[in-house]
Amino acid sequence: MTQSALSILIVEDNSQLAANLYDYMEACGHHLDAAPDGISGLHLASTRRYDAIVLDWNLPRLDGLTFLQRLRREAGNNVPVFMLTARDQLEDKMRSFESGVDEYLVKPIALPELEIRVRSYVERVRGFSSADRTLRTADLAFNLGTMEAHRGARKIPLSRTGRRLLEVLMRESPTIVSRERLEEAAWGDASPDKDLLRSHMSVLRRGLEQEGEARLLHNVSGVGYRLCEIP
């Protein structure tokens, strides 16, 4: 099957790395733009349409996390963003996911792996179901047509990966969903970093459960997760 070309923006201040990324992605048939700092990158992301953005964290003029927050909250742009950074601490991953990053990749990374992660992610997003139906668990509702989740009247913020994880958990509720099943739903055959699922689940739990609300998302040690209200 012929693979479709993607339009990709690379925001990276390391000129050698940016050139390598650009050349490799272009050789794979994709269309590339590149920006050496956050301000230039945000301007391109706000004025042109991209299928994906590969973003460094430590950028001049505007750091990657602020770039991401402004892109999501001010511009309302939901393009898939891949944070490619040397930062490998769990708290950095958590901050990124909460700001709206879709995948967190730690440098160095093999260029073929990066390309297949970007391509497979975008293809899954394009093929994601948009049927107008609603899943319900306790007072949690997830509309697969609008891709919006509410707990009572409160809207729950969700990333694309969060939506996929929540759909699987709600479809299987109240049974336990294995880590492997959740990782496959979120990332397909591309094996994620061992902390990636845990990071996404922590972000999802904070969105689902605010103060005074009954706990819905449960970690079953050594097995996986389940979504249900336990009396």
pLDDT in tens, 80-106: 999 999 998 988 988 888 888 888 999
What is the torsional sign of CA 81, 85, 91, 93?
Answer: positive
How many DSSP H helices and E strands does the chain contain? 8, 12
pLDDT in tens, 213-230: 999 999 998 899 999 988
In our burial notation (b when 16+ CB lie closer than 10 A, e otherwise), range 156-190 reads bebbbbbbbbbbbbbebbeebbebeebbebbbeeb
Dihedrals φ, ψ of 81, to 5°? Answer: -120, 130
Residue 5 — very low, low, confident or very high, per pLDDT cuts 50/70/90? confident
User: pTM score, two decimals?
Assistant: 0.64
| Residue among 124, 126, 129 at smallest CA distance from 188 | 124
pLDDT in tens, 13-44: 999 999 999 999 999 999 999 999 999 999 99
pLDDT in tens, 43-57: 999 889 899 999 999
The percent of residues in the chain predicted with pLDDT above 90, rounded, is: 55
* The predicted structure's pLDDT at residue 231: 67
Tokens representing 202 are: 């922590």
Dihedrals φ, ψ of 228, to 5°? Answer: -170, 165
